[in-house]
Amino acid sequence: MSPSTLRRYLLPFRVYHLWAGQRGGRSAPSPDAIARRCAVQGITAQHQKPLSADYIAGQSADFERRWQALSVYGSARAITATGSDCSTRALAE
C-alpha cells in the first residue's frame, strides 16, 4: 500500500472508528457528537483544523453502509462459530 493511499483514507477510517464505537447497535450518532469526540481524541483535518459536523454528516451515509455490511458479516461469523444455525454455516463456508 502506498503512502499516498494512507494519507487519502486515514482520516475517514479514524473518524469511522469513533462513529462505530458510538453507534454500537443503536441509532447513528449525531455529527456534532462525533465532531466533539474527534476534538477530544485529537483527530483533526489538514493543518490541524478541527473536523466540522458538516464533514462528518457528509461521511455518514458511507459510515452507515459500512456499519451495516460489517455487522451482518460479523453476525454470520458469530453464529457459524457457535454452530447454532446450519443454514448460516453453509453460507459462510
Q: 18 near 41, Cβ under 8 Å? A: yes
Residue 32 · residue 22 · CB < 8 Å: no
Residue whose C-alpha cell is 466540522: 52
d(C-alpha 15, C-alpha 74), whole Å = 20
The DSSP bridge partners found for residue 44 are 50
Scanning the chain, the segments in alpha helix (DSSP H) are 3-23, 31-41, 53-82, 86-92
In this prediction, residue 87 carries a pLDDT of: 42
- Better-scored residue on pLDDT, 4 or 87: 4
Interatomic CA distance for residues 33 and 19, integer angstroms: 9
Percentage with pLDDT > 90 across the chain: 41
Q: What is the pLDDT of residues 7-30, one digit of tens each?
A: 667 888 899 999 999 888 788 999
If you average pLDDT over residues 61-80, what whole number do you get? 74
